[in-house]
Amino acid sequence: MGVMESMALAGKPSKGRAGESVTRGARHGAARTAWFAALALLAAVAFPLLVPNPFYLAVANLVFINAAVAVSLTLMIGTTGQLSLGHAAFFASGAYLSAYLSTMQNWPVLLAIVCAVGGTVLLAWLVGRLFLKLSGYYLAVATLGVGFLLGIVLRNEPQWSGGPDGMSVNPLTLAGHTLQGDAAWYGVLLLVLVLTVLASVNLLRSPAGRALRALHDAEIAATTMGVDVQSYKVRIFVFSAAIAGFMGALYAHYSGFVTPDAASFLHSVQFLMMAVVGGIGSIAGAVLGAGIVTLLPHLLAKAAEYETLVVGGILFAVVLLMPRGIVPTLRERWLARRTAHPGVGT
């Protein structure tokens, strides 16, 4: 269904019991999603008290970082339909810029992080202006090339990147307090993830978000209705890269070390897997996918030789059985069940 048809239908009141059932089911679904989100946040807040083991806190911190990056990627892919295979380049850009300014140039860490995000935004804007007229596989190959080029630069410029061995990074200081240790970082990264999710949800619900979704559904119709396609594509691309760069900067100061692997193709594929497994276009799906992809290597630590096989099998099963991802598929099945049986669960 095109954008013009969708808007025309949206302006008409639904009639009959089927329409009322769908509307009521959507309201119940939104309320249930809010409850699930609240319970998940409560569980995350209580997690350090229930499981004070530093190892589990470290894994949770990685989940938070990856989840924020996955949310930024699903914003771009799920709205405009633009596929990026170089998202790790923006993550690494933020990490290395902040590491270089704070460690080698002795800048205040907060100022270094702000400048790192600004540098990442500039890089993303240049890439967007050059390549976002492409689409499909062509755009994927172009963004992949950006990641490869950045990786080559990071490995061959040791005077500012540390070379193949990477470089150490100064810790982050907030209000005179140095953040060191997994417990100290847990609250900061959880807060950043929550703010990222809230900002993303508000964006999708805004007029700009509806325009972005129109680009995904019917770009030609959106252009006919006056949507500046190129401008919106560049904006969401830059916004997505800014989040990735910010999380890269935080990761550098959290881990205390950064290597060129942060910009690798494998890292970009991992981010993409998080978005695909959870559900392209779903914010909750991106968070869930990040949790699954991040936790799998740790769950399979005793069978590392089967890790690639298991991860590939899970991805194959999700694509085959849930082609839209875990969260969107489960939501659709639940709404279909509510529509078929209006009295169930009320």
- From first CA to last CA, the distance across the chain in angstroms is 31
Tokens of 141: 């190959």
Closest CA to 329 of 342, 317, 312, 311: 317
Residue 289 buriedness (CB in 10 A; 0-12 / 13-18 / 19+): buried
> Hey, how many other C-beta atoms are within 10 angstroms of the C-beta on 108?
12
Asked if residue 325 belongs to a domain, the reply is: no
Asked if residue 144 belongs to a domain, the reply is: yes
Q: What pLDDT does 72 receive?
A: 93
What predicted TM-score, i.e. pTM, was given to this entire model?
Answer: 0.85
Query: CATH number of the domain that 73 lies in?
Result: 1.10.3470
Asked if residue 33 belongs to a domain, the reply is: no
Q: Compute the distance between CA of residue 145 and CA of residue 170 in angstroms, rounded to an integer.
A: 30
Q: What pLDDT does 228 receive?
A: 73
Asked if residue 268 belongs to a domain, the reply is: yes
Asked if residue 189 belongs to a domain, the reply is: yes
Tokens of 182: 């997994």
| Residue bearing tokens 């169930």 | 344
Asked if residue 64 belongs to a domain, the reply is: yes
Q: What pLDDT does 281 receive?
A: 81
> Hey, how many other C-beta atoms are within 10 angstroms of the C-beta on 46?
10
**How many independent structural domains does the chain possess?**
1
Residue 151 buriedness (CB in 10 A; 0-12 / 13-18 / 19+): buried
Tokens of 122: 């500039």
Asked if residue 107 belongs to a domain, the reply is: yes
Ordered per-residue pLDDT tens for the chain, 346 residues: 444 444 343 444 444 444 444 445 445 555 666 777 788 888 888 888 888 788 899 999 999 999 999 999 998 888 777 888 889 999 999 999 999 999 999 999 999 999 999 999 999 999 988 887 777 678 888 888 999 999 999 999 888 888 998 999 999 987 778 888 898 899 999 999 999 999 999 988 888 878 777 776 676 776 777 777 778 888 889 999 999 999 999 999 999 999 999 999 989 989 998 998 888 888 999 999 999 989 888 887 777 677 778 777 877 887 788 878 888 888 888 777 777 766 554 4
Q: What pLDDT does 4 receive?
A: 43
Q: Compute the distance between CA of residue 40 and CA of residue 194 in angstroms, rounded to an integer.
A: 11
Tokens of 286: 């991106």
List the domain range (segments joined by +) for residue 251: 52-302
| Residue bearing tokens 């969260």 | 327
Q: What pLDDT does 139 receive?
A: 81
| Residue bearing tokens 């013009």 | 4
Tokens of 42: 């409560």
Phi, psi dihedrals of residue 286, rounded to the nearest 5°: -65, -40
At a CB cut-off of 8 Å and minimum separation 6, what does 213 contact? 79, 204
Asked if residue 331 belongs to a domain, the reply is: no
